[in-house]
Amino acid sequence: MSGFFKSSIGRKVAMALSALFLMFFLLQHLAINILSVFSPELFNEVSHFMGTNPVVQFALQPVLIFAVVFHFVMGFILELKNRKANGAGYAKNNGAANSTWFSRNMILSGITILAFILLHFIDFWFPEINTKFIQGDWSGTMEGVEGLRYHEELVHKFVNPLRVGAYVLAFVFLGLHLAHGFTSAFQSIGAASLRKKLEKLGIVYSIIVPLGFIFIALYHHFNH
Amino acid sequence: MALDSKVPQGPLKDKWTDYKNKINLVNPANKRHIDIIVVGTGLAGGSASATLAELGYNVKAFAYQDSPRRAHSIAAQGGINAAKNYQGDGDSTYRLFYDTVKGGDYRSREANVYRLAEVSANIIDQCVAQGVPFARDYGGLLDNRSFGGVLVSRTFYAKGQTGQQLLLGAYSAMNRQIARGKIEMFNRHEMLDVVVVDGKARGIIARNLVTGEIERHSAHAVVIASGGYGNVYFLSTNAMGSNVTAGWKIHKKGAYFANPCYTQIHPTCIPRSGDYQSKLTLMSESLRNDGRIWVPKNLDDVKLIREGKKRPTDLSEDERDYYLERRYPAFGNLVPRDVASRAAKERCDAGYGVNATGEAVYLDFAAAIVRYGTEQAKVKNIKNASDAKIKELGKAIVKAKYGNLFQMYEKIVDENPYETPMMIYPAVHYTMGGVWVDYNLMTTIPGCYAIGEANFSDHGANRLGASALMQGLADGYFVLPYTIGDYLADDIRTGKIPTDTPEFDEAEKSVKENINFFINNKGTKSVDSYHKKLGKIMWDKCGMSRNAEGLKEAIEEISELRKDFWKNVNVPGEANEFNEQLAKAGRVADFLELGELFAKDALVREESAGGHFREEHQTPEGEAKRLKEFQFVSAWEYKGEPKDAVLHKEALEYENIEVKERSYK
Amino acid sequence: MNLTLKIWRQKDASSKGQMVDYKVTEISEHMSFLEMMDVLNEQLVNSGEEPVAFDHDCREGICGMCSMYINGEAHGPDRGITTCQLHMRMFKDGDTITIEPFRAAAFPVVKDLVVDRSAFDRIQHAGGYISVNTSGNTQDANSIPIAKEAADTAMDAATCIGCGACVATCKNSSAMLFVGAKVSQYALLPQGQVEAADRVQNMVAQMDLEGFGNCTNTGACEVECPKGISLDNIARMNRELMKASI
């Protein structure tokens, strides 16, 4: 089995498995965040549960971190290997004739998403870690805010139009990444017979998920 | 030297079995000390290499392409015959034997053909075990189609790519032996001479086509499996690199060359479109299962069609001349290739050709589309189906059967053959003649064998469709591996053949001299220009029909052309590099000699038989007229110039088949 | 029509190459692309220059020898064909056509437009066969019925001509369509299933060793493949390898 993950196909499968996990994560992330639009209270409750539940914090969160790091590191390793395999390259290459731009530029959309994740970590995740693990404050409250703090924090982040702009742009790239990544992940794990159906589902997924996040960002920007 | 075919005694059906039981064998431990060179890795060479290696011999295989998988066997489309009688339509070993001998116009060796028919069934078993994906019916069993010149369905096929699948099967068997180290593969190598030591073939001189290096390779036996010489015509359905060089070099060292004038002109090829044309493309004979061949009845219509003022679909049924169905009611569109080709030529010579060059006839699928469509409507229980619906259903079936051929046609001609009839014309396709071999497939040089299209043995004066693949694999898998052991049994104590002997020195020297001549000649005319001229002489005077006068002219013209070639040929580049022009110069030089012998053979054969049609020898209806006194194989011995070649005759006896007039009416 | 050709010229494997411009005139639209190249070469030979080396043999789209990258696409701007089946009617008078060899680290250039594709052969040596002796003493061909669908799908995979367009086209120079096709052909047939696990592991290991890149499922190979080999074959190979590894 260790030989399997050293092979080209094994790595591809590992990329796909981490991708599938991340896509599942995105879906639940969106589901929770969309609550912030409809019900700040419910959003606060769910956020608090996710932020304090030991299973989520000590089991799922490390898995998520690992998946993110693995997906990026392996993505870069494979990109470098593929560039080496590519040899001298062409004087004229018409890639558009046989494949989509986003399928050929996963590394580009990936790097954009990586940059976004750093911003996102600075915005939300580092403060969370600081509050909970360094300050030791697991109450979910903050000064000057009635009840739980999560909704307030979220809204506050979307005041600055530059940040909102950066988020929207990143989500567009996320959409492009998913437009290829969704079907690609299933293809990598060998789901051939469902390919046509998965392609359609992939398009739906890659539009709905980023659009949902964009909607949340814009909604809070313009409504508060 | 008198020709001895070494056909074993005994009743026809027991000859091969009895012979195999009695011949000498080499024990497995000794096989490890015996080397065999195989030149060519198509169906014959590939299957022979794999089997010999599997038996334990050390095989060195040579191919001029970059991989054995590219040999031109890959281009065979239609199928492979085997007397399996899966269809229960009365097929048998005898019937396949009978059809092949009759199809060859009673000019092949009975015992060889019977053996071929006998092992044919084994080929299918073997290939299926190798993973060749033959077409199957809905019950999961193998499907068959029928081919020209026979009345049963015995042709196995894999879409329109049977040759490819069979070659990939042989290639996979080779790969297994290459992985084991039992075959040493020399890709991009060309054999330029055979080395004969003490009267036996003991090695070859080869050129590495990438570096230009001249190499010596020794072995206890040399097998030539280099295919046919159809490219002597310049335009043929052969691959660009197909050549006679290996066969011709052994001929010059003592192997007799048999029946060079027997050439197959295949009836269903895409017509020529211009002078720049580099090769002709075959459309599988299987198309004649469903296609009907016709030309207009009236010359007026021909004129209008050529001018583009009328389309073939504008002509009603009674304005069309389905000339094969008219002349040969029993076999109709499925007459053998030579008959179909000559009939097309006859119509075109009479002015009925339907394209601008006047050399094309129609192959029409409209009737088949309606027939299949009606059948499908019944199967699918569609009541009162419209004509459009029937056509749609019919096209789907035709597409499933011949889709890739139709696509190929459309890409080349830029016309949709589902809507308008295809245009076809005969083209040089296969050469029945080749190096003379005995029953063991050994040439007149001891230890030198010739298999597949390179030899002359099984098809007489005309080959039936789907029989070339059968012969190549039969020779390579099932015949040569036995017969070569009989010869090699005497070589178990010989030890490795050294390459630092005077015989190798001499052969290498002459090869190098030849190459240096080409490089240093700095003439004025390109190699291709000579090849084209030779091709034109051959097609005009040694083509689908020949006469004494034309053949005499051809001999003179080729001889002149050859002299000019050796004076004025221009080969650019260096000897020690990848140099395709240089490789081609050597091949054309050999074609220029073979071409003359070809014409001479055709001139001597004062009869018509199969692919050899002499205008002086025809029946009042224009059919080929065979003559009893020419019931022999012409085997030519090299004596310097082709005009000095000496004819040896191997008489052909038919004890198990009655020699009749070959009728397909 | 009259054309300008930009062609990669490289003396041998160790030399540096460059693009060189040539002009050809009076090209007929009915010519095949290689016949146009013949015209150029005849012109070069007659003017004392060295002709352009390119691989070609059957010229009917089945041997897999021809291998040109034309105007940025393997086998040029048409579908379901090899270079030899590309016709000049795909171009216009006055066009400039860029012609390069198939590029991949695993396909080193031999000369001009000729590349070395022996890596494909070595992958086949690693397992592209069924271990059955060619003695002819096998069981009857009809003794194991094979469902028509399986046989047809195997045949579709087996139509691969080994030209390398998939590798040439792939931005990662991955050979997975080629290997996937062979693995699939055998995996679909009962005769091939006996050694399926070893076969896929050995072939993939050799493929990696040859320095081919990693498939990222762009699907370009399927589009450019002259025989339309489906991406399903890659998925099947992935499955086969997972199955073999567990």
Which of A112-121, B330-339, C86-95 bottoms out in mean pLDDT, i.e. has the lowest? B330-339
Interface list for C 10-69 with B (CB within 8 A): 11-12, 28, 30-32, 34-35, 38-39, 42, 44-46, 48-51, 53, 55-65
pLDDT tens for A132-168 read: 989 988 988 888 888 899 999 999 999 999 999 999 9
pLDDT at residue number C114: 98
Q: Tell me the percentage of chain A whose pLDDT exceeds 90.
A: 82
Residues of A with CB under 8 A from a CB of C: 1, 3-4, 7-13, 78, 81-82, 84-95, 97-100, 103-104, 106, 180, 183-184, 187-193, 195
Structure confidence by residue, pLDDT tens digits, A9-64 = 999 999 999 999 999 999 999 999 999 999 999 999 999 999 999 999 999 999 99
The structure's pTM equals 0.95
Q: Are B35 and B57 in contact (CB under 8 A)?
A: yes
Q: Which residues contact B518 (CB under 8 A, 6 or more apart)?
A: B569, B571, B582, B585, B586
Q: What value does the mean pLDDT take over residues C123-140? A: 92
Residues 6+ apart with CB under 8 A from C44: B572, C22, C50, C51, C52
Chains C and A touch each other (3 or more Cβ pairs < 8 A) = yes
CA A185 to chain C, closest CA, distance in angstroms equals 9
Chain B positions touching C125 (Cβ under 8 A) are: 175, 178-179
Contact between A89 and C212 using a beta-carbon 8 Å cutoff: no
Domain A8-81+101-223 has CATH 1.20.1630.10: no
Mean pLDDT of C165-178: 98
Query: Which of A7, A85, A180 lies nearest to residue C205, judging by beta carbons?
Result: A7
Q: Can you tell me the distance from the alpha carbon of B102 to that of B100, in angstroms, rounded to the nearest whole number? A: 5
Cβ neighbours of C139 in B, within 8 Å: 125, 129
- The pLDDT assigned to A224 comes to 77
> What is the pLDDT, as a whole number, of residue B484?
97
pLDDT one-digit tens code per residue, C24-79: 999 999 999 999 999 999 999 999 899 999 999 999 999 999 999 999 999 999 99
Q: What is the pLDDT of residue B146?
A: 83
Q: Give the distance from residue C33's alpha carbon to the nearest chain B alpha carbon, in angstroms.
A: 11
Indicate if the pLDDT at residue A87 is higher than 90: no
Optimal mutation site among C9, C16, C216, C231, interface A, most CBs of chain A within 10 A: C216
Helical axes A106-120 vs A61-85, angle rounded to 10°: 150
**pLDDT number for residue B535:** 97
pLDDT at B1 (0 to 100): 63
ipTM score assigned to the predicted complex: 0.97
Check B145, B154, B320, B337 and give the catalytic one. B337
Q: Alpha-carbon distance C1 to B73, whole Å?
A: 35
CATH number of C3-111: 3.10.20.30
pLDDT of amino acid C153: 96
B35-39: strand order across its sheet: B183-186, B58-62, B35-39, B221-224, B448-450
Distance CA C36, CA C28 (A): 8
Q: Checking phi first, is residue B351 left (phi over 0); if not, alpha (psi -120 to 50) or beta?
A: left
Query: Which of C12, C56, C63 has the most B C-beta neighbours within 10 Å, making it the best mutation to test the interface with B?
Result: C63
Ranges of chain B whose pLDDT falls below 70? 1
Among the listed residues C224, C239, C234, C230, the one whose alpha carbon sits nearest the alpha carbon of residue C180: C234
| Confidence at residue A121, expressed as pLDDT on a 0 to 100 scale | 92
Q: What's the alpha-carbon Rg for chain B, to the nearest Å? A: 25
Using DSSP, state whether B326 is helix, strand or coil.
helix
Give the distance from residue C171's alpha carbon to the nearest chain A alpha carbon, in angstroms.
7
Nearest to C133 among B54, B276, B578 (CB): B54
The domains of chain B, with CATH numbers, are: 267-427 (3.90.700.10), 527-617+624-651 (1.20.58.100)
CATH 1.10.1060.10 fits C118-245, yes or no: yes
Q: Which of B411, B470, B588 to mutate to test the interface with C (most CBs of C within 10 A)?
A: B411
Q: What angle is formed at CA B285 by the lines to CA B359 and CA B269, rounded to 5 degrees?
A: 25
Query: Is B337 annotated in the active site?
Result: yes
Q: Where exactly are the structural domains of chain A? A: 8-81+101-223
What are the CA-CA distances from residue B395 to residues A57, B389, B390 (Å)? 63, 10, 8
pLDDT over 70 (residue A1):
no
Domain ranges of chain C: 3-111, 118-245
